[in-house]
């Protein structure tokens, strides 16, 4: 009976050593890491410039502060939904570009009418990709006219607001022209 007792003690001791080894090499470090992670603040939330005493005073100064709710995660989209969303955004962008081009054409017509009202025989059109260049051509549309036109009150800002990137002044005769990049 004493031998059985010694064997059971030996088994118990071996089990304790093995269990203690598992406990000390696996469970304790895991608990230690979890504990440290719970104690130390994240880098994002840490105020590195303020000492610990200031953190305590800030915490005491705001006893009624409510914890911020966790942001709700965006629903994950399937590849089909992502493609549909991109297609819709592209269509909206194309519609916006088309609308801006039409507004620039309308502005060109208004400028042409204003110049005709002032006695300047000219044509005003939009050219270039998406109509971002304003082209003014006709008799008397040279360097002097271009200078006066660009110095008119509010014309520069109005052209930029409508999305123009360049203004070209083409006289009726000759290949030379004057331009301003906005």
Asked, for residue 81, whether it belongs to a domain, the answer is: no
3-state secondary structure of 126: strand
Asked, for residue 11, whether it belongs to a domain, the answer is: no
Asked, for residue 98, whether it belongs to a domain, the answer is: yes
Asked, for residue 163, whether it belongs to a domain, the answer is: yes
Condensed to tens digits (0 to 9), the pLDDT of residues 99-129 reads 999 999 999 999 999 999 999 899 999 999 8
Condensed to tens digits (0 to 9), the pLDDT of residues 34-52 reads 555 555 555 544 444 445 5
Asked whether 172 and 138 are in contact (CB, 8 A), the reply is: yes
Asked, for residue 78, whether it belongs to a domain, the answer is: no
Asked, for residue 160, whether it belongs to a domain, the answer is: yes
User: Phi/psi zone of residue 31: left (φ > 0), alpha (ψ -120 to 50 degrees), beta?
Assistant: alpha
Q: Report the C-alpha gap between 4 and 44 in whole angstroms.
A: 60
Asked, for residue 53, whether it belongs to a domain, the answer is: no
User: Phi/psi zone of residue 36: left (φ > 0), alpha (ψ -120 to 50 degrees), beta?
Assistant: alpha
Structural domain count of the chain: 1
pLDDT at 113 (0 to 100): 94
pLDDT at residue 32 tops 80: no
pLDDT at 65 (0 to 100): 59
Range of the domain at 104: 87-181
pLDDT at residue 4 tops 60: no
pTM of this prediction? 0.54
Q: Report the C-alpha gap between 134 and 168 in whole angstroms.
A: 6
């Amino acid at each position: 009976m004493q031998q059985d007792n010694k064997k059971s003690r030996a088994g118990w001791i071996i089990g304790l050593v093995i269990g203690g080894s598992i406990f000390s090499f696996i469970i304790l470090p895991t608990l230690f890491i979890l504990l440290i992670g719970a104690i130390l603040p994240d880098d994002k939330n840490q105020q590195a410039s303020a000492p610990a005493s200031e953190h305590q005073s800030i915490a005491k100064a705001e006893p009624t502060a409510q914890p911020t709710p966790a942001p709700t995660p965006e629903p994950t989209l399937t590849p089909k939904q992502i493609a549909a969303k991109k297609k819709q955004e592209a269509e909206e962008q194309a519609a916006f570009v088309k609308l801006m081009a039409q507004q620039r054409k309308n502005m060109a017509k208004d400028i042409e009418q204003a110049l005709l009202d002032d006695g300047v025989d000219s044509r005003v059109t939009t050219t270039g990709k998406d109509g971002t260049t304003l082209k003014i051509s006709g008799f008397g549309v040279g360097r002097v006219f271009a200078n006066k036109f660009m110095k008119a009150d509010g014309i520069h800002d109005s052209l930029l607001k409508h999305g123009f990137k360049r203004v070209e002044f083409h006289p009726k005769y000759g290949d030379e022209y004057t331009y301003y990049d906005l």
